[in-house]
Structure 1
Amino acid sequence: MNYKTLIGLEIHAELLTNTKIFCSCKNEFGADVNTNCCPVCLGLPGSLPVLNKKVLEYAIMAGLAFNCNIARHTKMDRKNYFYPDLTKAYQISQYDIPLCENGFIQIEKEDKTTKNIRIRRIHIEEDTGKSLHDTSGDTLLDYNRSGVPLIEIVTEPDMNSPEEAYKFLEKLKEVLLFTGVSDVKMEQGSLRCDVNINVVREDGLKSNIVELKNLNSFKAAVKAMEYEIKRHIDLLESGQNTVRETRRWDDSENRTISMRSKETVQDYRYFPEPDIVNINISDEFIENVKKSLPELPDQKRERFIKEYMIPEYDAKILTSSKELSSYFEDIVKLFNEPKVVSNWIMTELLRRVNDEGITLSDLKFEKEDFADLLSAISQGKINNNAGKKVFRAMFETGKKPNEIIEQMGLVQLQDENEIKQIIISVLENNKQSIEDYKNGKQRAFGFLVGQIMKASQGKANPQIVNSMLKEIIDNM
């Protein structure tokens, strides 16, 4: 029988505010353990939380970017549960009146058609601490993360394959990066993804929904979903069903493992947070946030194609991050050949950046230097191959391109008389190749060009070489 997969996602994204959600402790990753804590984020008796206005602003910005409706009146709630890293045995979150509702993200399917994945809600809440397990079997607790502001993004079960879920996650990550509300670094825990998954048989029989946790990358999420789809189908085919539970993904064994039974809403005993007043949001506040929204990836992509006349493939790569798209536009302002700039960024620049594991802000040379190099190639001062050598030296040393060109002796030979003498010398030593070319063997011409470039130590202008060589042979 045929089966349909239903996938819904719950994504937690840490917000890039300077301070935590309910106190003035620093919101930063990598600080010494338990140094960014206070009575509020430790949940000590008598401490009172105060909502960070910037959290509200960033969450609304995310909601607007994802086409959500923004609540004018909302509140905070207590979500009660016990966990070792949750000091006060409850989490301040939102329950029945989320800040943002009824949004969507549009993805492109494999057949190039589009599909809207509905976002049920986006709400704000505080993060918990972090459990650290040492080699002796003891568990230590670091509360630096406790109280870090989160948005939880909950989708409808609109994704019907792991591939669709992957595309949704990529799009979501891209938009969050462009808005600047989160750095979405999964390796640091600032983006976390849980999956709710089940299958429906064509006769209407459903497997029970299973929640998947411990997904530390999008690749792991896809593998876990693929595994679960097969497990659900196999159980239904054998006359059994899945248990409604939470399972974790084990990368080493490539399988999901049961963690615990799935909690229900009633288990959390939600009630309004008594220490925080209800939140009233004005139209003016929302409008100001809307005005601060940057150009989003899809809009930027369309503009790049139209304004810079570059292919869709180039535009997709160049708008994959806010930093990269800004870098491209800054270079084009200095050297107005968009396709040339695009080619160099996508090949030479990104290859070296990725190999070295650095960011564009780590580059040793200035944007003006990059533009000067491209100008030197465009003006014929050096050829393209020499340009790659210069770029490598710029990347490694940070020196100016013209300084490197002079030091390496790469200035392109433009003097036609000098080039003509080199051509004549090569032709005198390769008479058979001249005959081969005249007899229709085009490869012979390419061989002669190569010999001329070799004789000039790669400095001769290739365009002059080609036209002059053809003219000389045709007149022989």
Structure 2
Amino acid sequence: MTSPLIQGYEVVIGFETHAQLSTQSKIFSRAATAFGAEPNTQACAVDLALPGTLPVMNRGAVERAIRFGLAIGAHIAPRSIFARKNYFYPDLPKGYQISQYEIPVVQGGSVSFYLGDEKKTVRLVRAHLEEDAGKSLHDAFHGMSGIDLNRAGTPLLEIVTEPDIRSSAEAVAYAKELHKIVTWIGICDGNMQEGSFRCDANVSVRKPGQPLGTRREIKNLNSFKFMQQAIDYEVRWQIEQLEDGRAIEQATVLFDPDTGETRAMRTKEDAADYRYFPDPDLPPLVIAPEWVEQVRAALPELPRAMAERFVRDYGLPEYDATTLTQSQAMAAYFDAAAQASAQPKMASNWIMGEISRRLNAEEIDIAQAPVAAATLAALIARIQDGTISNNAARQVFDALWRGEGQDVDALIEAKGLRQMNDTGALEAIIDEVLARNADNVAQFKAGKDKAFNALVGQVMKASGGKANPQQVGALLRQKLGA
């Protein structure tokens, strides 16, 4: 499929994502990584590179990098190198950042996802381990700035794509899929507001068939909504500049959600500006094949593979399968309900509909849902065997959600919701309704379908809503000779 064009220009986007790894201690020290501590209480001498200190690699950070590499089908380097990336910024206490440059631990791989009905694949260049910097805090009211070094030394996995993305919508879909992967395999909590999952978008535009344009990097996009807004604005801005005959200067920019605009922060550096050289305090990182296989054996079923299984084994539409695998908890809930009820599509409809609506309204996760998967399966079974109607099922579900009990059959009996399936009793009600509604009968025989619906409604009303609608329709048509 050809790339969409905006005013005759093709959009080219590459992503760099910093995922904070879920270790209890920092990448090269034993200092804690907990979020929200008092400023500068979690930065130790190693994090600050004070004289006489030496960094020691955190095995848990390496294991998480291996886990990610396996999840995206990448090559795990048996030997990788740490380097010093030199730059001067107030929140970088060492004056350099320990990162990986020439030989990263994760090489290649890809992330696939659906944009509408179209499957997209973004190739990854690499994912490398590095340490986070501190954080600059600005108090505009008092006109002061401060530095919090608690975050300094927190382990990061920087995930870099090829420039394969061609629209803001595709960029958001990729970022969401990557977010799902890192949280699914348990290497990152994915909290964008706390900075655990930070995305930088490298955006450029070009005429089709031309070389890549000059890119500008939008830093620290901390929500999917702002990500799309920032990219859309940046694309429009670059096209306007080019159309006005001005050149694009490579730069790092920030997005201001209040104005909806990007603004230049500094001219963009190239690798040579950082003067990378191997860190003399850290030996090469060597990963044995046996360790890789141990990590592989412990990996959970991945979301894309699970979605494909739901389509293959349960006959679900791709949309349902993708939606149900947004989190491990939701996927497990559906899997259990589908197996117990043998009605996967009905289970999917309930989870994506009524259950999701209530979860969103109460701002809770499906793991906290008061209706267990087995209970939902029991409710579906009673709809399927004709014991209750869909309307009655919603009443039972309300009671289950409110905590009035977890026994579906007991609630059906207690509330008198059992559906009337006795043919003789239904025929008696139908005969009475037909006798009272001669006008509707005549209209139906004259070809007006609405009259038939009116008759069904009258029968349902006369039965107190307990009649089986399908059975009512069949008996009515039989008696009307339709």
What TM-score, normalized by structure 2, do the two folds share?
A: 0.89
1:292 to 298, 309, 314: 298
Q: Distance in 2 between matches of 1:45 and 1:408?
A: 75
- Report which stretch shifted further, 449-458 or 411-420: 411-420
Deviations 1:141-181 (A, max 9, x none): 44333322110011222323333333322332232233222
Change (3 A) 1:389 1:28: farther
Which residue is 1:436 aligned to?
443
Deviation at 1:108, TM superposition (A): 5.2
Which residue type is aligned with residue 129 of structure 1?
G
Q: Name the structure 1 match of 2:387.
A: 381
Aligned to 1:125: 130
Partner-residue secondary structure (3-state), 1:123: strand
Q: Which amino acid aligns with 2:126?
A: R
Cα separation, 2, equivalents of 1:116 and 1:448:
54
The alpha-carbon distance between structure 1 residues 222 and 338, as it changes in their structure 2 partners (threshold 3 A), is same
- Cα distance in structure 1, aligned partners of 2:209 and 2:417: 73
- Measured against aligned partners, the alpha-carbon deviations of 1:429-463 in whole angstroms (never above 9, x if no partner) come to 22222222333333222211111211222122223
Q: Is the 8 A contact 1:207 1:232 kept in 2?
A: no
SS state at 2:108 partner: strand
Cα distance, 1:206 vs structure 2: 6.4
Cα pair distance change 1:300/1:137, threshold 3 Å: same
Q: 2:79, 2:284 within 8 Å by CA — same for their partners in 1?
A: yes
Q: Distance in 2 between matches of 1:30 and 1:360?
A: 26
% identical equivalent positions: 43
Amino acid at match of 1:446: N
Q: CA–CA distance in 2 between the matches of 1:472 and 1:203?
A: 70
Amino acid at match of 1:102: G
From 340, 343, 348, the counterpart of 2:346 = 340
Contact 2:105-2:128 at 8 Å conserved across structures: yes
Measured in 2, the distance between the counterparts of 1:205 and 1:296 equals: 36
Q: Pick closer, same or farther for the CA change 1:111–1:340 going to 2, 3 Å.
A: closer
Tell me how far apart the structure 1 counterparts of residues 82 and 427 of structure 2 sit (CA, whole Å). 82
SS at match of 2:19: strand
Q: CA deviation at 1:360?
A: 0.7
- Stretch of structure 1 that moved more, 1-10 or 11-20: 1-10
> Is there any run of 5+ residues in structure 1 with no aligned partner, and where?
none
CA distance in 1, matches of 2:376, 2:209: 62
Residues 203, 50 of structure 1: alpha-carbon distance in 2 compared, 3 angstrom cutoff: closer
Matches within 5 A, 1:413-428: 413-428=420-435
CA 1:294–1:415: 2 relative to 1, 3 Å = same
The match for 1:396 is 402
SS at match of 1:163: helix
Q: CA separation in 2, counterparts of 1:157 and 1:472?
A: 67
* CA distance 1:415–1:227, shift in 2 (3 Å): same
- In the alignment, the residues of structure 2 paired with residue 444 and residue 15 of structure 1 have an alpha-carbon distance, to the nearest angstrom, of 64
SS in 2 for 1:188: coil
Cα 1:111/1:452, change in 2 over 3 Å: closer
Distance 1:49 1:418 in 2: 82
Instruction: Evaluate the alpha carbon distance shift between residue 237 and residue 440 of structure 1 in structure 2; reply closer, same or farther with a 3 A threshold.
Output: closer
Question: 1:412 aligns to what?
Answer: 419
Correspondence for 2:469: 462
Alpha-carbon shift at residue 383 of structure 1 (Å): 0.9
Which shifted more, 40-49 or 54-63?
A: 40-49
Q: Is the 8 A contact 2:336 2:374 kept in 1?
A: no
**1:31 shift after superposition:** 4.6
Letter in 2 for 1:265: A
Across the aligned residues of Structure 1 and Structure 2, the Cα RMSD in angstroms comes to 2.6
| Aligned equivalents of 1:452, 1:204: Cα separation in 2 | 70
Say yes or no: does 1:76 pair with 2:77.
Answer: no
Q: Deviations over 1:167-208 (max 9, x none)?
A: 322332232233222232322211111122223346957653
Distance (Å, rounded) in 2 between the aligned partners of 1:263 and 1:210: 11
Check whether the contact 1:207–1:236 (CA below 8 A) recurs between aligned residues.
Answer: no
- DSSP 3-state at the match of 2:301: coil
Could you say if the C-alpha distance between residues 69 and 202 of structure 1 is closer, same or farther in structure 2, counting changes exceeding 3 Å? same
Q: Which residue of 1 aligns with 2:232?
A: 226
* Larger deviation, residues 234-243 vs 188-197: 234-243
Task: Quote the offset at 1:217 in angstroms.
Answer: 2.0
CA drift at 1:98: 0.9
Residue 28 in 1 paired to residue 34 in 2? yes
- TM-aligned CA distance change 1:127 to 1:404, over 3 Å: farther
| C-alpha distance 160-421 of structure 1, shift in aligned 2 (>3 A) | closer
Cα–Cα, structure 1 residues 324 and 111, in superposed 2: closer, same or farther, change >3 Å?
closer
Residue identity matched to 1:184: G
Unaligned runs of 5+ in 2: 1-6
Per the alignment, in what secondary structure is the counterpart of residue 186 of structure 1? Answer: coil
In 2, the alpha carbon distance for the partners of 1:346 and 1:65 equals 26
Cα 1:132–1:463 shift into 2, 3 Å: same
* Alpha-carbon distance between aligned partners in 1 of 2:471 and 2:113, rounded to the nearest angstrom: 49
- How far the C-alpha of 1:13 sits from its partner, in A, is 0.9
The match for 2:4 is none
The residue number in structure 2 matching 1:193 is: 199
The residue type paired with residue 4 of structure 1 is E
Map 1:230-269; keep pairs closer than 5 Å.
230-269=236-275
Displacement of 1:398: 6.2
Is 1:210 matched up with 2:209? Answer: no
Q: How does 1:251-330 map to 2 (within 5 A)?
A: 251-330=257-336
Establish whether residue 49 from structure 1 lines up as the match of residue 58 from structure 2. no
Q: Secondary structure of the equivalent of 1:411?
A: coil
CA deviations on 1:311-359 (whole Å, 9 max, x unpaired) are 2222222223222221111112221111111111111111221222211
Aligned residue pairs total 474
Structure 1 residues 90 and 360: CA distance shift in structure 2, 3 A = same
Q: Which moved more, 1:1-10 or 1:226-235?
A: 1-10
Partner residue, 1:448: 455
Looking at structure 2, the residues matched to 141 and 393 of structure 1 have their Cα atoms a distance apart, in angstroms, of 53
Give per-residue Cα distances to partners, 1:238-257, cap 9 Å, x unaligned.
33212222111111112111
Moved more, 250-259 or 222-231: 222-231
Provide the rounded CA distance (Å) in 1 between the counterparts of 2:281 and 2:331.
44
Give the deviation of 1:473 after TM superposition: 4.2
Aligned partner letter, 2:339: K
Letter matched to residue 462 of structure 1: P
1:432, 1:205 → 2: CA distance? Answer: 75
Structure 1 CA distance, aligned partners of 2:209 and 2:424? Answer: 84
Contact 1:207 1:241 in 2 (8 A): no
